Amino acid sequence: MRMLCARLNNCNRGTTTVEFAFVAPAMFLLMTASLFIGLLVYSAMGMQAAVEKAARCYSVNDSQANATQCKTASSTQTYAQTNYFGVGSPTFTASIPPSPNNCGHQVAASLTFNLGWSIPLTATACFP
């Protein structure tokens, strides 16, 4: 019995497996969190780019008689939706704000990013 205890005390076989068992959950959690944060940032940046393009399109094509897209608020919303690349489907609104706070042609978007809890994303762009 004493010989068996001495052999087991000096044995290093399996230590890598035990160390990996301690480190693996934290490593996988960090990798998964990085993936979801990347998706969140990608969706936010895609939504911001879509509202900027749509606000410019709405401003430029609103006054032109032969414009085929972005002539109305609903066509601008459709244009913004086609230019959005990201997770989910945001709600776009296009408007021309009243005079005191008039920044031009405004397009806004909102999206709720769900990961077990809700993260609201919003983006707004104006073009004179």
User: Does 117 score more than 90 pLDDT?
Assistant: no
- Bridge partners of residue 118, in order along the sequence: 114
**16 has a pLDDT exceeding 80:** yes
Query: What mean pLDDT comes out for the span 68-74?
Result: 83
pLDDT recorded at residue 65: 63
Mean pLDDT of the 23-29 span: 94
Check whether 54 has a pLDDT greater than 80: yes
Is a pLDDT exceeding 90 seen at residue 103?
Answer: no
Give pTM, 2 decimals.
0.77
User: Is the confidence at residue 68, as pLDDT, over 80?
Assistant: no
Q: Quickly list H helices, 1-128.
A: 2-10, 15-62, 73-82
Domain boundaries, the chain: 15-127
Q: Alpha-carbon distance 20 to 1, whole Å?
A: 30
pLDDT score for 109? 95
- State the pLDDT confidence band at 107, using cuts at 50, 70 and 90: very high
Q: Please determine, for residue 98, whether its predicted confidence score (pLDDT) is greater than 80.
A: no
Which are the contacts of 106, defined by CB distance < 8 A and separation ≥ 6? Answer: 55, 94, 95, 96, 97, 124, 125, 126
Contact in structure between 70 and 53 (CB atoms under 8 Å): no
- Say yes or no to pLDDT of 121 above 90: yes
Query: Comparing C-alpha atoms, which of 127, 40, 121, 111 is closest to residue 76?
Result: 127
For the chain, give the percent of residues with pLDDT over 90: 42
